[in-house]
Amino acid sequence: MGSWKITPLYFGYTSGTNPAGKEFGIPWLGFYLTDGQHKVLCDTGVKDGFFVNGKSPFGYPSDGGEEYVLKRLSEIGIAADQIDLIIYTHFHWDHAGNCHLFPQATHLFQDAEWKELLDPLPSMQFLRVYDQRVIGEFEKLSCQRVSGDVKLLNGLELFQAPGHSAGGQCLRISTAKGIYLIAGDLFNTYFMAYPEITEWTLLDGKRIPLDPEVKKFAFANFIITVYDHYAWYRSQYRMKAMVEGPEFLIPSHDASLIGKTFG
């Protein structure tokens, strides 16, 4: 087993009630990884100025930005200039907004994702799934494009997992407690990966029954951002087979992850 540890970082949120009046809350998350030697960040949250009147593209109250990122890192004793490597699960606005905070790091992403950021489909432009303000900032940084599955530092592996985006990728991490998978938006919550789950966590940490209307609402809002449904499901099947069970899968937007450490 490896020696990596994984710390989810809370980079902001969207919250409100769905059309049926049911409460929901979704965090924007990044993940700090270290093996005691390397310092790695997976995803960088939302860029300042993206939200219009404090609302997400879906119209719900939201917040995020570089202050969240720097504060969360500071809380675990890490400065932005200490990060060696940043891995992007994909380039959607809630995952890649703050690359500029890490000019000293290497920024790693799939070549297919870079090309989609440069030239998104019309439907992606309509939904504002990309914040193209980051293009010029990435061009000033030390970037490493990859294509397909890649072994990185000892105990870290990347697996391309298209569907939600062309260059989506998952990160498999070897720890003392087992092999974990950061799923990106292949699975944004645990109940998206494991439909049998009957509870979920609100942003305040409260565990409540998973109302069928909330589940339906969450799926409906997420599915419209999937550009290739066939590729999405194929990637899901492949990635779920790589973990021993739900406890080793780390989705991208599940509030139950806040405050935890894995490995």
Burial (CB < 10 A; 0-12, 13-18, 19+), residue 39, is middle
CA distance 103 to 105: 6
Break the chain into its structural domains and give their ranges.
5-257
Per run of 10 residues, the mean pLDDT along the chain (length 263 residues) is 93 88 90 97 98 92 97 98 98 98 98 97 88 98 98 95 97 97 96 92 91 86 92 97 96 97 96
For the CA atoms of 199, 202, 207, 208, the dihedral, rounded to the nearest 10 degrees, stands at -60
* 220/261 Cα distance (integer angstroms): 30
State the pLDDT at residue 19: 74
CA–CA dist 65, 52 (Å, integer)? 13
Strand partners, 173: 156, 180
pLDDT given at position 18: 77
What was the pLDDT predicted at 215? 87
How far is residue 254's CA from residue 186's CA, in Å, rounded to a whole number?
13
Burial class (CB in 10 A: 0-12, 13-18, 19+), 54: exposed
How distant, in Å, are the alpha carbons of 6, 235, 261 from that of 179? 11, 18, 14
Q: Sign (positive/negative) of CA torsion 188, 156, 245, 159?
A: positive
Cα 82 from Cα 87, distance rounded (Å): 15
- pLDDT at res. 127: 84
pLDDT at 69: 98
Instruction: Find out whether 47 and 133 touch, Cβ atoms under 8 Å.
Output: yes
CATH code of the domain occupying 5-257: 3.60.15.10
Query: Helical H runs in the chain?
Result: 66-75, 111-118, 122-127, 134-138, 190-193, 212-223, 229-240
Start-to-end CA span in the chain (Å): 10
